[in-house]
Structure 1
């Protein structure tokens, strides 16, 4: 396995040509479903703009974006659908090792050899079954680490709303003991089997040349769980700041954007809103919505629920607040919502957990508070509510400048070009 010279940055990599390659870009879904899909699709667009031939490989799905390569996509597997018992059994086998994905990938290689393959999320739907074919064909493989699946079978290192590292040291049986997958014994057992098979076959460890990781925290955590540091390269996420108009005047109240689920710390935000008597707006949907509505009524918090918003409607909501709040209680990676807030000229209040502290400069672009501490968060809300408009605008400008320099489309593209060049050079 090629080493990456014991680094987590790209400072010593050779310069890369901006054009003239073929990228095999791989992800379960080919539409904007979540953060990983946004990065996957925007990365494809970035490379197409500089003349690369981008070949996507994904699962067929009714919401997929059009693709000339869709004939190679694998059969749809959508959890929660009412499949028959034989189909469910076949899907279970594919989750562990998809023969179809392997066959489809072989067809792609027969048609055109890519210069680089870049994986995003392939768990469950595609599976890593095709990775040995890429290695046999001499195609360098990069994988973006969007979550902690390489260490935690359940992705999140979270159980019952709290950080959990019970599977550390190979003790993956804990995923069954604790029923980590949707509280289901069968699903948890399937994921334990999936993890065991993939690790035994070395389907990630022995086939991926480099892991691109958006946060330094995730690198440190994976190393702590036994991965060699030299396999990881820090490649921060990006946002197209040029397409986002920043607001220069301070807004009103505080805003959360994202999924309404326990690990997001939204109960802490509601309680902090009640303690500080500051208005809070929540944008998003998820399983906690009714619980949060009840908590707001119980505490007297001034909370508005706007539901799902995207595009300009979402951007207007962000521009209208004093600060965006991310009260996470789990190991966040590198949320794009932070970068979008900065690009729109808003400071960010986040918790001291996961990769969030890397993305917030205390007093310069926002504030950092302990996770799960409603009183500390309430104090931050009160302080930001009292700040002069110019102070908030200065934070917004600092965040915007940071995005334009370190988290731009061009910076992301150039980091990947340098990484690809180092791998291709090594293979030559």
Structure 2
């Protein structure tokens, strides 16, 4: 029997499942698993974290290749597990499966020290880690933003201490050394944007282990609607979570500042969620801004991904006003999949994907006046038609899955030679 004829066993691990949490990393990890599961010559396992106490059942996992495990209590500073016994359930699943490739999509939920545990338990396996933000570099929720709100260009112990004066610089030095040591067991790092890859390379990850591959995302079929001539293209929409880093307050300030005669015929719809989970000061600020904007803004609330084609068919522009760098925002891919140009902050992964004058418009991040001017400019129907024509659909999930498979095979061959 030819050993190469056996299925390639790939386990993907995620800190959440889309049925429980609709974050971009959770969706990306699960989408990749679905592509791998349907690929010939592959046996795929997907393990997601669920909040402690959650009933460990999973819709769609009846075929036995999707499982939930309780998330691990980790120290928010060191990112290490508080209880070394916590990964027992995960290790049991993996030992039964005997993966040749273990692909993590986050250390949150598991603890960064799981990397060493996996290396010791599966010495022949290839370990891959997709980097979805800067959690290893930045203690401020992995956002690379100063606690005062300014963007941070690179982490340094003294700068980190200025953001968190209660933590002395030496602890940041030890944190960085610990996380770099744990990350050294990873065979390959995947960054969904070149911007994020550069940040981690500057931080010290080895260039020969870094590769840029876009997230594998499944998009609902788009209903083709005949284009109609319009006197104005001022139907704007925001899709996503309402957190302080997403810049929704900047968007609301911009909308409220536009004079009535210039705004006439325009609208903003907020398909947004999780405001109730945010700090009270932020909730009050958003409430006041929505009240100030009045009938210009309609807060709809959360949405299902399956409804996106219908929702985006009813708007002209998707606005992504994040004040942090972002990596590879899912909503930009969703907008392009539905042939909608994007208005985005001109920083980080957003500026990498939204090219001003080609497939959308950009504005100065965190600047409500700059965004207001961009919204007014966007209403021009000729400009909208030109930018819509420049929108390129995202790479198909199957193609992204094929890129991952080539990487896995390459890393397995390299590990076998070593």
Say whether 1:47 aligns with 2:36: yes
| 2:255/2:293 contact within 8 Å kept | no
Q: Which residue matches 1:226?
A: 204
Structure 1 residues 28-427: aligned runs within 5 Å: 28-32=15-19, 33=21, 34-51=23-40, 52-60=42-50, 61-62=54-55, 65-66=58-59, 67=61, 74-76=69-71, 95-123=80-108, 125-136=109-120, 137-153=123-139, 154-158=141-145, 159-164=147-152, 167-169=155-157, 173=161, 176-177=164-165, 196=174, 199-200=177-178, 202=180, 204-241=182-219, 243-249=221-227, 252-276=234-258, 277=263, 278-285=266-273, 286=275, 287=278, 288-298=282-292, 302-388=296-382, 391-399=383-391, 401-403=392-394, 407-427=395-415
User: What secondary structure does 2:319 align onto?
Assistant: strand
Q: Which moved more, 1:250-259 or 1:338-347?
A: 250-259
Go from structure 1 to structure 2 and tell me whether the alpha carbon gap of 1:19 and 1:44 turns closer, same or farther (over 3 Å shift).
farther
Deviation at 1:203, TM superposition (A): 5.2
Deviates more, 1:132-141 or 1:165-174: 165-174
Task: State the Cα distance separating 1:270 from its structure 2 match.
Answer: 1.5
Cα distance per residue 1:98-139 (max 9 Å; x no partner):
42344345434542321110001232x311333224334211
Mind listing any 5+ residue stretches in structure 2 that lack a counterpart? none
SS at match of 2:324: coil
Q: Does the CA contact (< 8 Å) of 2:45 and 2:65 recur in 1? A: no
Of 39-48 and 408-417, deviating more is 408-417
In the alignment, the residues of structure 1 paired with residue 200 and residue 335 of structure 2 have an alpha-carbon distance, to the nearest angstrom, of 28
Q: Report how far residue 76 of structure 1 moved.
A: 4.4
Quickly say closer, same or farther: Cα 1:117–1:170, change in 2 above 3 A. farther
Structure 2 Cα separation of the partners of residues 332 and 402 of structure 1: 20
Helix, strand or coil at the partner of 2:49: coil
Of 145-154 and 230-239, more deviation after overlay is shown by 230-239
How many residues get paired?
A: 384
Closer, same or farther in 2 for the Cα pair 1:331/1:92, shift >3 Å? Answer: closer
**Pairwise CA RMSD:** 3.4
What residue number does 1:22 align with?
A: 9
- Deviations, residues 253-273 of structure 1 (Å, cap 9, x unaligned): 111111112222222212221
Alpha-carbon distance in 2 for matches of 1:170, 1:228: 24
TM-score by length of 1: 0.78
Q: Secondary structure at the match of 1:163?
A: coil
Is the partner of 1:328 in helix, strand or coil? coil
Cα 1:349–1:283 change in 2 (3 A) is: same
Contact 2:102 2:127 in 1 (8 A): yes
The structural deviation recorded for 1:29 is 2.0
Give 1:18 shift.
12
Query: Would you say the 8 A contact 1:238–1:336 is kept in 2?
Result: no
Cα separation, 2, equivalents of 1:293 and 1:117:
44
Structure 2 vs 1, CA of residues 28 and 344 (structure 1 numbering), >3 Å: closer, same or farther?
A: same
Assess, with a 3 A threshold, how the Cα gap between structure 1 residues 253 and 116 changes in structure 2: closer, same or farther.
same
Q: Relative contact order: is structure 1 or structure 2 higher (C-alpha 8 Å, sep ≥ 6)?
A: 1
